[in-house]
Structure 1
């Protein structure tokens, strides 16, 4: 099984807090990888929150290719943060030659465009960079979005943290929202793109489990949106469905759970909203999932969500001390970083429940 976790805080916190959340759950993962998405950044990125941030793991040739491509599109680099890595011998990880996080000013023609146009530009740019780097076997691009940083690596999470000096807490790399996972995608090929969390146009998702309807989801999603690509992991389908329901269709977030795990037909038909639920199931049946899953998601506006499969076959717990909300596969993770919370108020999302944490750290529970 995977192990997943997330943190949402009033004040920006370092990734070491996410590591402290994840490492006590070590028996539940296999030391094959560590990845995180950080949103609402401060520190080194505090002055560039409105400009897109490109997260890369690449080769020197890849850096040149990316620089030429970005210049041709009219992007102007404003700032760059390069981790000072600890390249000691004996670390169990497959390090790339270069890790670069760069903020760019918008191309001049887009400085006065609307938000939707800018979001489409960022998606098309990331997809083009991915194709370019793949063509030359020169690296990986994980996200290109304002106020979002993504890091993925193969190896032992503790060694990855040592390599990137994530334990140093020097204030340069901090954020209010962090989503993390320990374990690579060992059901399929181990590639960096397969590591959770996954990101698309401000939407982040990681999952602990398996989606046995992966092929059906994938075949349908490939016809829905150009951004639904890769499919290195069956859990990517869960992100693409979140993006489709929330951004493309513009439906209330509560319908996400109805799309993933619809109620039994007879029960749905007996409800006041039965006609709506029936239409959802009829039109989006190809997006239903099966198999054990616990899901953590993060939205563009900073709200965080959690839900489970229809049989509640994967663990997930949520706890808060008033200044921080943490989610984890196991309660030992919460005990490590929010020991003073009222444990009686911990939430274990049920099989028909969607939990949403707003930006005031209020928890909302919605039942199907």
Structure 2
């Protein structure tokens, strides 16, 4: 193959790996199997980003928001960022415990200072009229946009994000996820950056409160999506297209309280020709959604896993330009870029299928329901 031809094929734009594992019974397990599953998709990344989200890991602090912060720059910049951030946090919250996030001596690239805080809102003045979640969101946005070198990258209750620059198996071992944490729901990401820089804050997952997103693909509508979200108070500060997915999920599911089925139709709506062929009631609904939320249409190829306390959601773009596989075994529910990564940790599966484009697949603690189950592919043991 010529040098010119090698260069043409040197960039694998369909890469990035996503994975999710959830116990529908709420049984907690370590991150070991999730790390192993991600290691099986090593070829889909390039070592410039990896990360995990885990739910149910802080039962002793379950009633408090768990803030994970990174302080970047040289040691002097880190100290100053930590001082300023703590001055703000201790003024805005009742902090019951804080400590450095434990990590091992696994070699990773330029790690920042990583700290966690368990806290509850301490509202004053006009803030007393805000819900606790809205208060927290506003404070997170303030820190991330106004305090240099300080980033809150996890802010939910009884859950946490762990991410950085490296392969996901390296990041998992760095945070000792196989030893220190047990959760009932885990998601993970291995990054192959396309249009954004590789740095610790830009690794996946992205989250706000207990909603986290891992994403394979590219959001070409990022500019329009960002404009719409920033008009509604969000600040996109992490230099990547995926950040808009996390904030869009918060806006639609928390602030606007829309059901998941409608959220999917906003992010990955049917084309107009399909809407025109629907019955009158459905046509009116889909037309209204496309008009009201037009700037939140996510254009481009994508497959995402959205996790929240008690549930995990898989969704692709409407024509399914990025792969997504769903599988079950007993009470375990898996979503992955590749079936092989699931079988790496669970060789025998009860069922496995590929969901339709634009239709969400959801697993919940209280039970499971799937969209498009008529297309399920049976698997022999």
Unaligned 5+ segments in structure 1 are: none
Give the 3 Å change call, closer, same or farther, for CA 282–231 of structure 1 in structure 2.
farther
Q: Given the alignment of the two structures, is residue 276 of structure 1 paired with residue 291 of structure 2, yes or no?
A: no
TM-score normalized with structure 1 length: 0.86
- The whole-number CA distance in structure 1 between the counterparts of 2:177 and 2:96 is 24
Of 61, 69, 73, the match for 1:48: 61
Are residues 1:253 and 2:271 paired? no
Instruction: Report the CA distance shift for 1:93/1:290 in structure 2 as closer, same or farther (over 3 A).
Output: same
- The answer to whether 1:64 aligns with 2:83 is yes
Give the deviation of 1:362 after TM superposition.
1.6
- The residue aligned with 1:131 is 145
Aligned residue number for residue 175 of structure 1: 183
- Correspondence for 2:43: 27
Match of 1:159 among 148, 170, 176: 170
Deviations 1:271-314 (A, max 9, x none): 23111111111222222222211111113x42211111122111
Residues of 2 paired with 1:106 and 1:242: CA distance?
22
SS at 1:175's partner residue? coil
Does residue 119 of structure 2 align to residue 104 of structure 1?
A: yes
Distance 1:276 1:94, change over 3 A: same
Q: 1:228 Cα shift?
A: 4.5
Task: State the TM-score, normalized to the length of structure 2.
Answer: 0.83
User: Root-mean-square deviation (CA), in Å?
Assistant: 2.4
Answer with 55-64 or 196-205: which moved more. Answer: 55-64
- Per the alignment, residue 18 of structure 1 pairs with 34
Deviation track 1:200-226 (CA, whole Å, cap 9, x = no partner) reads 232211211112222222222221x21
Equivalent residue in structure 2 for 1:364, among 367, 370, 378:
370
Q: Which string of whole-angstrom CA distances, capped at 9 and with x for unpartnered residues, describes residues 83-124 of structure 1?
A: 443336xx242211x3222212442769xx78x611122112
1:86 aligns with 2:86: no
CA distance in 2, matches of 1:205, 1:358: 16
- Are the counterparts in 1 of residues 266 and 297 from structure 2 also a CA contact under 8 Å? yes
- Looking at structure 2, the residues matched to 279 and 83 of structure 1 have their Cα atoms a distance apart, in angstroms, of 46
Query: Is it true that 1:244 corresponds to 2:257 in the alignment?
Result: no
Distance 2:329 2:87 in 1: 47
2-structure distance, mates of 1:309, 1:252: 18
User: Helix, strand or coil for the counterpart of 2:67?
Assistant: strand
Q: In structure 2, what is the equivalent of residue 76 of structure 1? A: 94
Q: 1:350 to 1:153 in 2, by over 3 A?
A: same
Compared CA separation, residues 104 and 243, structure 1 to 2 (3 A): closer
Cα separation, 2, equivalents of 1:131 and 1:261: 29
Relative to 1, partners in 2 of residues 1:121 and 1:95: Cα closer, same or farther, differing over 3 Å?
A: same
Following superposition, the deviation at residue 227 of structure 1 comes to 2.5
Number of residue pairs matched by the alignment: 348
Question: In structure 1, how many angstroms separate the alpha carbons of the residues matched to 2:208 and 2:352?
Answer: 30
Structure 1 residue 148, shift from structure 2 partner = 2.2
Q: Secondary structure at the match of 1:346?
A: strand
Distance 1:85 1:260 in 2: 36
The aligned counterpart of 1:294 is: 303
